[in-house]
Amino acid sequence: MGFNQYWMDTVSHNVANVNTMTPTSGAPFRARMVVAQPLDPNGPNGGGVAVGSVVDQAGDAPIAYDPQNPLADVAGNVQGAVDDLSGQLSDMILASRSYQANITVHKEAREALEAATTLGKA
């Protein structure tokens, strides 16, 4: 479940910065993408995924003409974030559903264990 929480936190950070503007001379905000790494199914936790790495979204930053912006260069341009809002919202839905599924599995496993421990007690 830690992977899902980290994934949701990262997507939230990306969504919060979707409208971030920077000077054209600097580096633009780039959305961060979490890469899952499978865990050994024979390990102590029984498999699953963990955060393998976090990579920045590739691509060119959009340039906007906004001479009133204090960050604008001499030509009046600023650069936007390298971030796709619709993709981020889709990722948030996926991360949320994955988290919910893990919670459900955990709850069902706990209830099954509780039922198994009460079999001999009547």
DSSP-derived secondary structure for 37-69 = EEPPTTSTT-S-EEEEEEEEPPSPPPEEE-TTS
Of 30, 53, 48, give the one whose Cα is nearest residue 38.
48
* Residue ranges making up the domain that contains 72: 2-117
Residue 79 placed within a domain:
yes
pLDDT at 44 over 90: no
Q: Is residue 81 part of a domain?
A: yes
Backbone angles phi, psi at 48, to 5 degrees: 105, -155
Considering only CA atoms, give the Rg of the chain: 22
Residue 61: inside a domain, yes or no?
Answer: yes
Is 106 within the bounds of a domain? yes
Q: Would you say residue 122 lies in a domain? A: no
Q: Model-level pTM?
A: 0.80
Structural tokens at position 49: 């995924």
Kindly indicate the confidence band of residue 122, based on its pLDDT and cuts at 50, 70 and 90. Answer: low
Number of folded domains that form the chain: 1
pLDDT, average across residues 83-88? 94
Q: 82 lies in a domain?
A: yes
- Longest alpha-carbon distance in the chain: 82
The per-residue pLDDT for 64 is 95
